[in-house]
């Protein structure tokens, strides 16, 4: 989010995250911004004011909240692990109440809006209304905002400076496909599963077991899935026996001429989704995943291991989407919306 807003022309003051693993990547790419390793449930308004020299009622100030979304995701995981970070919107409110920024921005998974039974969103929207903010929100497909993947997200933009604010207008573009971002013509040389790129480019592909290498070798190029080997008793996965239509994207290849699926934190694993390369016998590399997220090839990912880099990439707001939102906020600030 910070990188995309910065690209739009917005000065980034700081990013706040409890995870120390993010710091080097953040400070290597966000010009002039500070990284505050803080837990916002414990961070106080006076502490934040002192750290960043913030002033209340600053019309040019933007607060962006992109809290962890695992709790609200449709993926069936143990919710107890993510419950602590599920309600950070409440902690975010105290900073809005104190500083009354000109703009508020939220990005999360659609479940924050659609999970009517548990969601704290209605209370947050009422909180904004009571404090004089107007807003526009909804579920958008990032593919309509310059991103070559189908990635649905809940986005909210709010302001106290105007009577109307709108989400940026969707602009579907048929050229936003895997073919126009990956492959040799886009700077990605052919590599094998298990290739380790020790340069900052990180064209690194995960290793495959002997059986998974056999599976992807048999899998039809350009969008093939596990039905290519459903009749091979040696390769068949017992859980899917007789259920070929269950989770068809698992152990599958991307299509060249379609947007990529949502890039998750496990996008570099062939067995975790439609993350097989369209024609090479491997999962997509770390840099390929970052490129499908619209990170420039010069963006630096600094971490001690591949899993952490994959999390940085998969958890991120695609910069192209963030830039689109940032430009819309600037238009609103200038009275153009």
* Active-site residue set: 69
| Residue 5 · residue 12 · CB < 8 Å | yes
CB atoms within 10 A of CB 262: 17
Residues 6+ apart with CB under 8 A from 41: 88, 91
Virtual CA dihedral for 312, 316, 320, 322, nearest 10 degrees? -140
Q: How far apart are CA 229 and CA 237, in angstroms?
A: 10
> Residue 135 in contact with residue 63, Cβ under 8 Å?
no
DSSP for 111-133, written as a single string: HHHH-TTT--HHHHHHHHHHTT-
- Give the helix ranges, DSSP H, for 131-248: 210-218
- Residue of 281, 279, 299 whose CA lies nearest to 289: 299
């Amino acid at each position: 989010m910070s990188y995309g807003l910065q690209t739009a022309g917005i000065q980034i003051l700081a990013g706040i995250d409890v995870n120390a693993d993010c710091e080097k990547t953040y400070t290597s790419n966000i010009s002039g911004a500070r990284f505050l390793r803080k837990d916002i449930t414990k961070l106080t308004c006076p502490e934040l004011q002192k750290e960043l020299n913030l002033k209340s009622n600053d019309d040019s100030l933007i607060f962006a909240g992109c809290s962890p979304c695992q709790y609200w995701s449709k993926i069936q995981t143990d919710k107890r692990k993510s419950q602590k970070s599920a309600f950070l919107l409440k902690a975010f409110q105290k900073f809005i109440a104190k500083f009354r920024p000109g703009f508020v921005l939220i990005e999360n998974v659609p479940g924050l809006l659609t999970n009517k039974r548990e969601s704290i969103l209605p209370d947050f929207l009422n909180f904004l209304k009571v404090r004089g903010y107007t807003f526009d929100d909804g579920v958008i497909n990032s593919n309509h905002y310059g991103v070559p993947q189908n990635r649905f997200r809940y986005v909210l933009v709010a302001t106290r400076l105007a009577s109307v604010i709108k989400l940026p207008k969707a602009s579907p573009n048929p050229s936003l496909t895997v073919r126009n971002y990956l492959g040799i013509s886009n700077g990605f040389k052919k590599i094998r599963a298990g290739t380790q790129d020790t340069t900052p480019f990180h064209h690194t592909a995960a290793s495959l077991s002997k059986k998974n290498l056999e599976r992807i070798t048999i899998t039809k190029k350009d969008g093939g899935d596990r039905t290519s080997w459903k009749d091979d008793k040696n390769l068949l996965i017992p859980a899917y026996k007789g259920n070929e239509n269950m989770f068809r994207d698992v152990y599958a290849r991307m299509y060249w001429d379609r947007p990529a699926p949502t890039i998750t934190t496990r996008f570099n694993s062939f067995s975790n989704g439609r993350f097989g390369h369209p024609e090479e016998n491997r999962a997509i590399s770390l840099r390929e995943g970052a490129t499908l997220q619209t990170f420039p090839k010069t963006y630096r990912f600094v971490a001690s291991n591949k899993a952490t880099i994959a999390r940085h990439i998969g958890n991120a707001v695609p910069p192209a989407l963030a830039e689109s939102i940032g430009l819309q906020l600037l238009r609103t600030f200038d009275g153009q919306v």
